[in-house]
Structure 1
Amino acid sequence: ADAAAVIRSLGETEAVVVGSDWGGLVGWTMAALHPRTVRRLVVISAAHPRRLRAGMSTAQQRRAMAYALRFQLPAAEQRLTRADDDPVADLMRRWSGPSWVHTSDFAEAVERYRSAARIPQAAYGAMEYYRWAGRSQLRPDGLRFARRMAAPITAPTLQLHGAQDGHVLPATARGSDRYVAGAYRWRELPGVGHFPHEEAPDEVTAAIADWAR
């Protein structure tokens, strides 16, 4: 609802919505629950919420998201802010495509995210996404959300996903089209991990611009 309100606050009734990771989950949600605000949808590195929920039944996806279980622990954000630990760099190495990891661009990205994560309240806010996602699974609010997300998405949808994504596995993201009633295109990016917009920015930008026309 908040993201849909941003569109209205700008004096528009609809927009091309582009989201990556958690932003992608927001995009899926907007398209399902506020369909009139989404003219076209581009989702990057994010399975449809119901597809992700189903994917967690596999050992491979559970291993890929094992860190999210640790984030459920009280004060988990304190680890992100400690100078003697570096979970941000560790996660980014595991989630990224192998070629990007060895570039100076990757090192700069790690430093940016590390600096942001070490802001105490920012780290806490980041944990809360994962805590709601985990703890709501069997609560009324989580079950209600899952039911509502079964609504077919009518907005034309482009789904971009890195073939080497070590966070949301391609096998989990595939099949999200079962929740799309409108035009749909799946595009898997070879050699790319969980950060396509940073690992292959030119290719991703061109794909978004083409879909948004």
Structure 2
Amino acid sequence: MFEAIKHSHVEVNGVRLHLAEQGEGPLVLLLHGFPESWYSWRHQFAPLAEAGYRVVAPDQRGYARSAQPEAVDAYTLLHLVGDVTALIGALGAERAVVVGHDWGAPVAWATAALRPDLVRGVAGLSVPPLPVGGPPPLTAARENFGEGFYQIYFQEPGRADAELAADVRTSLRRILCGIQPDGKPRAWIVPEGKKLLDTVPEPERLPDWLTEADLDVFEADYATHGERAFTGGLNWYRNLDRNAELLAAFAGVTVDVPALYVAGERDLVNAMVPPEALAYLLGRLPQLRGHVRLPDTGHWTQQERPAEVTEALLDFIAGLDK
């Protein structure tokens, strides 16, 4: 099924990134989230390529088969946007459609906001277009969810890193299957005295969208970095307040390219972004072409509902030149 996907590496901004690629034509970049990799887009490669697009999904900096800079502050949103903009050029393209899920969505939204000259259209899955500047987000997170909120828990260097790297496969399986065991949106909270994985139960069985073979791929990619298997991705969270400081000059900027937002009705992000806040955030998209809500769908959007996500992306991209 995945034989047509080509793998390569490219160096951008001094960081060696692993790329998975299929097809020829206008460039479509697919940006994964945490804790995922290029493989989270496995169902989108062939349909997009068959429709006439060059589909490229990188392992973003710090993840899976890509290089992992040592310094925590090498993972700011400006670094991540810089990787995307440099990657577009390295692939020989003038512009791209940029699609992101989970953490990949803020990177996609920010790339479109800061470099609209390079972005034909932008799609975000799960995470809406959060402001790129403004007050420190961790302050609001503490006020709204307390010290046990997972983004706060991630801030201490080494703690979550060691817990997750102790058994990579178990960590991936339990997070992918267990952050919403009953399908109800709720913020991810780690009670005092508990460890991160104490909050995500071992699944009785894998969901129909995730197989042992899928876990084999994720596990092998993450094992590349040994005891730092998850450190690169966790460092993205450790720059949340730094991002707000660095991007203060861009507070209030809108995303002025054609846009699509796709989210599951059971996504845990819904517990953090209530309807009134979502309406405000989507107001930052003056060219919003579609807002797709997927029923019975949690956080892992393109893996849980591959056909529906692919259809939405194909319709959106096809309409960009109309």
Tell me which protein shows more helix as a share of its residues. Answer: 1
Verify: 1:71 aligned to 2:154, yes or no: yes
Verify: 1:106 aligned to 2:191, yes or no: no
CA gap 1:60/1:91 in 2 versus in 1, 3 angstroms? farther
AA of the residue aligned to 2:118:
T
- Kindly provide the CA deviation profile for residues 49-72 of structure 1, in whole angstroms up to 9, marking residues without a partner as x: 229988974789737x81121111
- Kindly provide the CA deviation profile for residues 97-116 of structure 1, in whole angstroms up to 9, marking residues without a partner as x: 84xx7524335355654555
**Paired-residue identity, %:** 23
Q: Which runs of 4+ in 1 moved over 6 A?
A: 51-56, 58-61
Verify: 1:203 aligned to 2:312, yes or no: no
Verify: 1:177 aligned to 2:282, yes or no: yes
Alignment gaps of 5+ in structure 1? none
Residue 166 (structure 1) shift? 1.4
* Corresponding residue number in structure 1 for 2:235: 128
Number of residue equivalences? 207
Verify: 1:91 aligned to 2:175, yes or no: yes
* Corresponding residue number in structure 2 for 1:161: 263
Higher relative contact order (CA 8 A, sep 6+): 1
Partner residue of 1:191 out of 272, 275, 296 = 296
Q: TM-score, normalised by structure 2?
A: 0.55
d(CA) in 2 for partners of 1:189, 1:202: 11
Partner residue of 2:92 out of 11, 32, 38 = 11
Residue 147 (structure 1) shift? 4.1
Partner residue of 2:120 out of 10, 20, 39 = 39
Residue 85 (structure 1) shift? 9.9
AA of the residue aligned to 2:101:
S
AA of the residue aligned to 1:48:
P
Asked whether the 8 Å contact 2:168–2:229 carries over to 1, the reply is: no
d(CA) in 1 for partners of 2:216, 2:133: 29
SS at match of 1:46: coil
Q: TM-score, normalised by structure 1?
A: 0.80
Verify: 1:30 aligned to 2:30, yes or no: no
SS at match of 1:161: strand
d(CA) in 2 for partners of 1:37, 1:148: 18
Alignment gaps of 5+ in structure 2? 1-81, 184-204
Farther off after superposition, 72-81 or 162-171: 162-171
AA of the residue aligned to 1:28:
W
Asked whether the 8 Å contact 1:20–1:44 carries over to 2, the reply is: yes
Tell me which protein shows more strand as a share of its residues. Answer: 2
Asked whether the 8 Å contact 1:96–1:165 carries over to 2, the reply is: no
RMSD of aligned C-alpha atoms? 3.4
